[in-house]
Amino acid sequence: MQDKVNPGQTPLVCNNEGQIVNSNPQPGEQAYYVSESDPGTKALEASYALISVLPGIAPGTKIVSSAGLDTYGTSAGIEFLASTAGVAELLRRFDPVRQRALPEFFQAVIRTDIVRDDPANSSLVLVREVKRPGVTASKDRP
């Protein structure tokens, strides 16, 4: 969805192959994120979500989305973005000194453990600032 609304403007994309793709991985970052399963039991152990706050179609509007690799990831992404602790973590990542402002547009990858068939222990894995369409530079942060 992100790349359809803002083609070429999103550094992170949730594709139809069950991956969140990092188009420009920095040292130590993964190029893509996939659900993690126990090799023996095949039970789901962790999932990922891509939170995006992007320019809307109409001027002055925004689109906020949570695209998870599955229902667990999607739910965990929404809960992370709606929680005080999640917003505080985003602020620390984007504005480490003042912890007061998020970029106008951004994306974030959230990892969540699956414990007894429920999402738990969500954490911020990766953030990217997204510039307005027509602005080419983006500020990347691990």
Tens of pLDDT along the chain (142 residues)?
444 555 566 889 988 889 999 999 999 999 999 999 999 999 999 999 999 999 888 888 899 999 999 999 999 999 999 999 999 999 999 988 888 889 999 999 999 999 888 888 899 999 999 987 654 444 444 5
Residue 141 lies in a domain: no
Task: Count the domains in the chain.
Answer: 1
Q: Where are the alpha helices (DSSP H) in the chain?
A: 2-5, 71-82, 84-94
Residue 77: closest CA among 43, 53, 105 = 53
Structural domain boundaries enclosing 109: 2-132
Residue 70 lies in a domain: yes
Q: Residue 49 and residue 19: Cα distance in Å, rounded?
A: 10
The pTM (predicted TM-score) of the whole model is 0.84
Residues 125, 73 contacting (CB under 8 angstroms): no
Residue 106 lies in a domain: yes
The Cα-based distances of 56 to 5, 53, 101, 119 in angstroms read 7, 9, 20, 30
Residue 139 lies in a domain: no
Residue 84 lies in a domain: yes
Residue 142 lies in a domain: no
